[in-house]
Chain A
Amino acid sequence: MIRAEQITKTYRTKRGDIQALSQVDFQVSPGEFVIVKGPSGSGKTTLLFALGGMLRPSNGAVKLDEHDLYSLTRAQRARVRADRIGFVFQMFHLTPYLTVLENVMLPLGASKCGATREDAIDLLNRVGLDHRLDHRPAELSAGECQRAAIARAFLRKPSVILADEPTGNLDPDNAKLIMSHLNEYAQQGGAVVLVTHGETGEEYAHRIAIIRDGRLEIARS
């Protein structure tokens, strides 16, 4: 349902061009949990942002249900992200001046998807943060921050969750908890793409792709 077709991304720098992605074909379907592995600088995050409509490829197309994301206007692409795509980041990126509950509800400011405050509280219950609703991110542990970020990504029930090293800053117990939440999301019909440089979550993955120097290979399907 989300598909990258022959995408290439070249960063132009003063020290010369950097080829981050090279003719990458990739797709993920509903209910599928795909892990993209690769060392730092291999192009994992670039691929994730390109899939999420946040980074225009130099060549190729990214299609969500056959609609080319990058033929849309910026505003239309923002709308697609609001309605269809959820992000989870390694650094959590919670808004520091909002409470946990307000952070989870933040996506509702971008699109009215029918989700409510009660849905946000319910999600926070499910990730074990019901006692932290009114806390600020600075008052949470790293694991709690990432669980809040997961709840934020899940709130609008997006078609696809794009997770960038979501367990990179977590201890093994919290990492396992996050992976189980992502796995549960995939089991409920959502698509999950997770990029990582480690071994995290391989037991949940339907497919594992390896990315090296911007080229993608299937390691396990």
Chain B
Amino acid sequence: MNIIRLILKEIAHRKMNFLLGALAAAAAVTLFTAFFTSSQASQRETIRLMRDMGYNLRIIHKNADMSEYWSKGYTDLTLPQETAELFTKEKDLMFTHILATLKKPVEWNGKRIILVGISTEVSPEGKKKPSMIFSIKPGTAYAGYTLAQEMGVSRGDTIELGGKPLKIENTLQEEGSESDIFLYVDLSDAQAILNLPGQVNEIKALDCYCQIPGVDPLDMMRQQVAAAYPDVKLFQISSIAKARMDQRHMLEMYFAWIMPIIAVACGVWIAAMVMINARERREEIGVLRALGYGSGKIAGLFLGKAILIGLIGACAGFALGTIMALRIGPAMFPETAKSIQTDWATLRWALILTPAFAAVSSFIPTMLAVSQDPAETLRPE
């Protein structure tokens, strides 16, 4: 009788032990599969959420008075518009989504409003990403919520500012911030209205969360900027940066800790099942020894069973995990639900790693079973 037949016969005899072992393997694979299958959607959702928090870096003129900047919300000192373009040519730049703006108060129909000219968002080579902000065509404007209410303008109206006609492309939803009194226009229109051709007074950006161990990313970005553009300074809106970092950390910690804990717990579970199985089979092992079975063949009985547990657990776990991800995932990540699909690569890895993991988990109990003294187990009571 060969080893495989013995394994199958023993499994049929002790079904519960096998089922509990397979359940442990399946539980681990189910969770891995569910997480990995929906992880792409989760990542996209996280990126989207983080992006929605807004730009967290500001680049302004080096000599800007920060007290004035914070009290007024802008600086009077300007920079050449090309500065933003030049950033895109820098290698290894640690920020993206670069947006040149010109922001200043203006009078409109006797009311003081904030005019914000924005350019098209740019990113360094190879880091092109969808824009975080709406694009504005020259000759059009987006009115903040309060501004639109107070000035009685709505979509499709045409207003005149600084002698320039602007068509209201849209009125924005209430933000509950100073942006509710902003009038957004194309940068070139703002430059014309403010008579500051080719000038901007603030460049916004988003740090790329490229962490280098032992290096403060803000210091690194400041060095990058200072080395290439001595006329500017960079600072971070730390509340946004911290929220982003916390969100990223949370996701990373989740995968870095939770998954290994699940894997170890399931490994211990399988090992315990093998240990119980080995204890139940002490006499059988003793008899096999007495009949001349070598350690390799006896170990093969246990490791073979563990591998079978792993294979069945991998298949069952993959099926369950995929069903979970496809059923529950879209509710959790509604915006990126389309990216949740059956991931056959996970099955391939599960079929390789789960039996290997089950075999490793059962290695110690197997060795204990193999090394137990047959004379002790076969001795009559």
Contacts and interface: CB of A to CB of B under 8 A. Distances in A.
Interface of A: 45-46, 49, 52, 54-55, 74-75, 78-83, 85, 87, 89-91, 93, 95-98, 102, 105-111, 152, 164-165, 168
A79 B292 contact: yes
A102 B5 CA distance: 11
Nearest to B10: A97
A87 B296 CA distance: 21
A110 B297 contact: yes
Chain B interface category by residue count? 20 to 34
Main secondary structure of the interface of B (DSSP, over half): helix
B134 to A, nearest CB: 71
A55 B375 contact: yes
B375 A54 contact: yes
A211 B360 CA distance: 46
Given A81-B289, A82-B293, A90-B380, 10 more contacts: A45-B375, A52-B290, A75-B296, A93-B286, A93-B290, A93-B378, A96-B13, A97-B13, A98-B1, A164-B380
Contacts, number: 96
Interface in B345-381: 373-375, 378-380
Interface of B: 1-3, 6, 9-10, 12-14, 283-284, 286-297, 373-375, 378-380
A97 B12 contact: yes
A156 to B, nearest CB: 9
Contacts of A52: 290
Contacts of A96: 13, 284
Given A49-B375, A93-B283, A54 B295 contact: no
A97 B9 contact: yes
Contact of A54 (B2, B6, B289, B296): B289
A54 B13 CA distance: 28
B212 to A, nearest CB: 54
Contacts of A80: 292
A54 B290 CA distance: 7
A89 B291 contact: no
Nearest to A168: B380
Contacts of B14: 97
A45 B379 contact: yes
